[in-house]
């Protein structure tokens, strides 16, 4: 079973700062299987990035994803007030077949 570990648990930054969120997998995975989601309070999650680096429809270009192997990152180039919420990475895996979410990173206002 592949474990996803997101770090840090909480990231304290100011509007306009650059945010770098990490997602590490316990074994090497295919980049095509890694996605990032954003969840605002009281709302359903929404897809930000899929296949490690492709922005979902309607996602601003301040969001970018990268990485390979076991280390993946979500970068927010300049934090807007609405970006101070929770982010999850998600992996599609085949053994067992299914999906796993990381535990989440909360981006809070410093």
The DSSP code sequence of 48-92 is: EEETTTEEPTT--TTEEEEEEEEEEEEEESS--GGG-SEEEEEEE
**Integer Cα distance of 107 and 95 in angstroms:** 32
Among 18, 99, 108, 110, binds other proteins (CB under 8 A): 99
The two three-digit tokens of residue 92, written as one number:
């599609």
| Among 8, 60, 69, 98, contact with other proteins (rule: CB under 8 A) | 98
Footprint of other proteins on 31-50 (CB under 8 A): 37, 39, 44-47, 50
**66 is a contact residue toward other proteins (CB under 8 A):** no
DSSP state of 16: T
C-beta atoms surrounding 77 within 10 Å? 14
Chosen residue from 74, 76, 88, 107 binding other proteins by CB under 8 A: 88
User: Taking a C-beta distance cutoff of 8 angstroms, is the pair 16, 80 a contact?
Assistant: no
Least CB distance from residue 79 to other proteins, whole Å?
Answer: 21
54 binds other proteins (CB under 8 A): yes
Could you tell me the smallest distance in angstroms from the CB atom of residue 1 to other proteins? 8
Contacting positions for other proteins (CB under 8 A): 37, 39, 44-47, 50, 54-57, 88, 90, 96-104
């Amino acid at each position: 079973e592949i474990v996803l570990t997101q770090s840090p648990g909480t990231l304290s930054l100011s509007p306009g700062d650059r945010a770098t969120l990490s997602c590490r997998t316990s074994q090497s995975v295919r980049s095509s299987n890694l996605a990032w989601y954003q969840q605002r309070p009281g709302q359903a999650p929404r897809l930000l990035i899929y296949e490690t680096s492709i922005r979902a429809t309607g996602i601003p270009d301040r969001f970018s994803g990268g990485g390979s192997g076991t280390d993946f990152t979500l970068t927010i180039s300049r934090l807007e007030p609405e970006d101070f919420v929770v982010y999850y990475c998600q992996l599609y895996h085949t053994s067992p077949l299914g999906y796993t979410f990381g535990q989440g990173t909360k981006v809070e206002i410093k």
